[in-house]
Amino acid sequence: MFVKIFKHAFLRPLKTVLSLIAVSLIAGILAGFCKMMSKRVDSDHLFKVFRSLSSLSTFAISILTFAQITVVCTSFHKAVATDEAYFTYTLPATTGQQVGARYLSLLVWNTISLAGVILSHFLKALFTVKFSISNGGVESPPMRLNEIILMIEIIILVVISYLSVVSHVQFGIVFANALSLKLKRKLSSFLVGLIFFLEFVILVITFILSLDWVIRKTFLGIDFIHLLLWILILLMGGLGSLTYFLTYKFMGRWLNVA
Amino acid sequence: MANAIEINNLTKKYGRKVALDGVDLTITGGKIVGLLGPNGSGKSTLFKCLTGLLAFDGSAKIYGEEVGVKTKSIVSYLPERTYLDMNMTAKEVFDTFKTFYKDFDIVRAYELLATLKVEKDVRLKTLSKGTKEKIQLIAVMARKAKVYLLDEPIGGVDPAAREFIINTILTRVNEGSTIVISTHLIRDIEDILDEYVFINGSKIVSCGNVKDVHSQGKTVDEEFREVFRCL
């Protein structure tokens, strides 16, 4: 049943999201082309036109990425928080299967959207950046063990943070819907948004403070950086697990259709 | 015949409001039962409890199993509202049901759809409200389920549509299956019922056999009015 729910949830926004990604890639090519042309034209007027088109296309990539994520989240919202929930919650599946499959679908779609935006910017860069495989004969110094570990830790932190953000999104939708059974829908969404904003502010402050320590690493030593990174990994992992667990609890008991 | 539904001391509260208050009810298998009561009497809430949509206190068993994943696979439920994705076509709806329910008879679904004269590739959002409801009913009734819970299937539809709905219910695939229909339009479905359950004010008020009522020279509708006049 897990696979069936995942497939159903994944295929639902397929056409819309793929269309948006395709447009985003075209916007990337257009942005790159216009930027390249702006450097080649002599006319001041044409320079402004190409420059504006390039900026607009770059802006369009951001809007399209936002639209993709919105479509994916809306699809999840419709399945669990609208009349369609009557279908969702009468399926012969456990809460674990429902939460897990839908989380995976959100995760995969958001990853595809991110890959889409990266590819769009890469296509844009292709027109203007000159890539060089050669490093001019200068050999990079071999990485020290500590640097390798540091790099792995940063990668783990990024991955865990990403998983946690997706879990937050899922929980936000579920929690807002559960609240809307008691409060007005707009107020519920506002409250959830406010809670996440405050959490985000606290996390940003933590990150900034951490960054400040990283900058002053010479005084604190590399061991402290490792410790700090692991604290952040555990913090993000803990928040992600907590929101996943709460989603499970809400979907299992409190997210009942009224 | 085994008990299809066994409910013991089922209580459901929405905050302080009691929607179902210590309900006890047993429905034997293979019958068509009318769950009859005025609006707000607790009919829909009882169905939601039986389908696992609402958590409740007490016990509710379907063919000996407490309401849960197992019972969801043998219960086919028609809610009082349209729950299908309006961007889907009838074909996609049937394919989705086929994916999730092993007991879904897709051939039967297309047979019923043909009687509606609706193209399978037309999006639901382009169809009338009545046709959407009929397609939903077809999807629900095309399952070879042991228990069908139909919440207000004839509410808000025209007489011709009512005839289609009643015929679809009567020509159910599973002969041994149990059908519970909730409605306040008793006269329209009286002829197809084997048993009736009157519900009001979050409690079961009365239940019995339709034949027994008829043998007293009364209709269920008259019995309903009589019982509710006394309350």
Per the CB < 8 Å rule, is A256 touching B54? yes
Q: Does A86 touch chain B (CB under 8 A)?
A: yes
Q: Hey, is A84 helix, strand or coil? A: coil
Residue A14 to residue B87: CA distance in whole angstroms: 13
> Which residue spans within chain B are E strands per DSSP?
3-14, 17-28, 32-36, 57-62, 65-66, 75-78, 147-151, 178-183, 195-200, 203-209
Residues of chain B whose C-beta is under 8 A from some C-beta in A? 15, 48, 51-55, 69-70, 72-73, 75, 77, 79, 81-85, 96, 99-101
Range of the domain at B77: 3-230
Instruction: Supply the CATH number for residue B174's domain.
Output: 3.40.50.300
Interface test with A, best of B17, B69, B95, B125 (most A CBs within 10 A): B69
**Would you call A84 and B81 a contact, using CB atoms and an 8 Å cutoff?**
no
The residue among B20, B47, B53 with the most chain A CBs within 10 A of its CB, best to mutate, is B53
pLDDT tens for each residue of chain B, 231 residues long? 678 899 999 998 887 888 888 889 899 888 889 998 888 888 889 999 999 888 888 999 999 899 888 899 999 999 988 888 888 898 999 999 999 998 898 888 888 888 777 778 888 888 888 788 888 888 888 888 889 999 888 776 777 777 777 877 777 656 788 999 998 788 888 888 888 898 888 888 888 888 888 888 888 888 888 877 765
pLDDT of residue A125: 85
The answer to whether residues A118 and A20 touch, using CB atoms and an 8 Å cutoff, is no
pLDDT per residue as tens digits for the range A211-253: 676 666 655 566 777 887 888 899 889 999 999 998 888 877 6
The predicted structure's pLDDT at residue B98: 92
Under 8 Å CB-to-CB from B73, ≥6 apart: which residues? Answer: A92, B101, B102, B103
Express each pLDDT in B26-47 by its tens digit: 998 888 899 988 888 888 899 9
Mean pLDDT rounded to a whole number for chain A: 82
Question: Quick one: average pLDDT of A193-208?
Answer: 77
Q: Which of A31, A35, A37, A53 is nearest to A119 (CA)?
A: A31
DSSP H helical ranges for B6-148: 43-50, 69-72, 90-100, 106-116, 129-141
Number of domains within chain B: 1
pLDDT tens, residue by residue, A84-134 = 888 888 898 888 888 899 899 989 998 998 898 899 888 888 877 665 555
CB contact under 8 A, B100 and A91: yes
pLDDT grade, residue A22 (50/70/90)? very high
With CB atoms and an 8 Å threshold, state whether B85 touches A12: yes
